[in-house]
Structure 1
């Protein structure tokens, strides 16, 4: 009996010792051998910590210039990368570049025409935004204008150094004309609207939403003689974000973060363009219907497309093709390497950060 009791006590003691050493409860799987470690969920990588910065951004009050930046603000994408964006309206790219040179603006969104100033070394391109198709040459039929050829000797309002001026030159060339054959009057986009509606000029070259307003106010008396959409098979009209060379050297990190947020904004903009029209209308205090009518004024590139287009050389080809337009039109004397004024390294870093954040 004593022997049985001793054996029983030993068995109980062994069970207690095993429990004290952490034997797994019956509800948990037994430990795996060393060659098959227990699967544990790894903690998600911590979000990058950014030093907050304020970026002063110039844009023009139209969908081509303001849609991506407004989307990024509304959706909080710039805030996600530690950037506070402060917007200032301008009526043209050359004025934006002048403001950057004076130190009043950090980053600008420009249309096709102002890219010539980048080629000349006045600014650096660090992000592609869209391909523009909103510039148009409009004429007053009451002035006896029924074709491009009828523009000869007429007064045409335009904004020098902008995409509208480039389109004016292209449209004139279809009838064998140049600016020497017309009287060009310098006006900004708002001036073109009032001058056309009041009859101060015979025709104008400008962009949406000014073109939309002119057509609405003039009705059947307004004739479209051509737009950059008529030349897309041979010419590209990129809209880009730019900065000065000095700013790029001192604030590359901000440019990369800005570019990363922009790519995300472009992804949202394309499938939600009508919603974006509403945001822009509110930002620029314009009529919703007027801005909505310009929803097709650009080829709304996505971040996903831009990542691929940068890798396969499509984006470089866009800027190369654009530069050829300036050469053919006599705006610049000869072509220069695109790398001279396009910061492809910043574009790539922004794409890499965007791709990593998507994973």
Structure 2
């Protein structure tokens, strides 16, 4: 399976994760969105393998998406109950469109890449740069432009979805892109001499959390059960990193070595660590930092109190039960 195919996998695997049409308590299955990479898929793969949904009287109907903003839209229209989003889409819950029910990981997979011969952000001036709008690809592009003393006006931004960026970059239709691993590995196979001209790994002033979200007005008891599933899956992942990679690879029908390479850009934490960081305000600082980024880019008018969009109290209570 190629890296380009990595993001399309659920059409073939979703049925394998679905445990039935009804939950143990008689309700409908939870429709859970995810992106087909290690960050987005690992906890769902673990929860299914470990029987955690059944343990907590839930069933899940997984649905694949190519990015976070599309999942937020689906939450808003009632077509999705929960979803996974990366740091670039955090402005959407911060603007009241969703509620964060759990912090997942810290991710450092986003890059600005450029075709051979373009060696810096300054070299991208006036060039065509592809970006999936509202995602971490746009986020890293904005941050990199700021660091270089540039703005979006200095480039020719071309809005396109992530899979299209892979083909457009490979064929030379665009000169650069704001994009992420594992898709960058696919691009490297096609354009081996491409350059990474900016990286979130080098942006030490920022922390980039990935999260799970529900609709803005969630259901507290169901949220608590879902949080518990995610917490138990999270702790299994932290204790069994190699096995977690293997389970994710099996779910995605992807090469295990490639999933391991993807996971190398991810920092996982135990639930106890996430609870402690929620209680001491660390998570709020992460979310404040991201909101400040989105205020500068114009995606948010102001930086909101994290308590208005992160259900931290419910998360800590779920962990205590």
- TM-score normalized by the length of structure 2: 0.88
Q: CA deviation at 1:108?
A: 0.6
Q: Structure 2 CA distance, aligned partners of 1:255 and 1:305? A: 20
Q: Equivalent residue for 1:7?
A: none
Contact 1:52 1:83 in 2 (8 A): no
RMSD value, Cα: 1.6
Q: Deviations over 1:300-351 (max 9, x none)?
A: 1221211221222212221112111112333212122211111223212212
Q: Equivalent residue for 1:305?
A: 273
Select the structure with the greater relative contact order (CA < 8 A; seq sep ≥ 6): 2
Q: Deviations over 1:200-225 (max 9, x none)?
A: 21111111210121123321x11111
Q: Equivalent residue for 2:172?
A: 199
Larger radius of gyration: 1
- Is residue 321 of structure 2 the alignment partner of residue 350 of structure 1? no
Label 1:330 to 1:208 Cα distance change in 2 as closer, same or farther (>3 A): same
Counterpart of 1:234 (choices 202, 205, 212) is 205
Contact 2:287 2:306 in 1 (8 A): yes
Q: Deviations over 1:22-44 (max 9, x none)?
A: xxxxxxxxxxxxxxxxxxxxxxx
Q: Structure 2 CA distance, aligned partners of 1:70 and 1:244? A: 22
Q: CA deviation at 1:67?
A: 1.6
Q: CA deviation at 1:288?
A: 3.1
Decide which moves more: 82-91 or 309-318.
309-318
Q: Equivalent residue for 2:262?
A: 294
What is the correspondence of 1:23-42 to structure 2 with a 5 Å cutoff? Answer: none
- TM-score normalized by the length of structure 1: 0.79
Q: Structure 1 CA distance, aligned partners of 2:167 and 2:256? A: 20
Number of residues of Structure 1 aligned to a counterpart in Structure 2: 297
Q: Equivalent residue for 2:220?
A: 252
Contact 2:39 2:263 in 1 (8 A): no
Stretches of structure 2 that go unaligned for 5 or more consecutive residues are 1-23
Q: Equivalent residue for 2:125?
A: 152
Q: Equivalent residue for 2:34?
A: 59
Contact 2:288 2:306 in 1 (8 A): yes
Q: Deviations over 1:121-154 (max 9, x none)?
A: 111111111111111111111xx30111100011
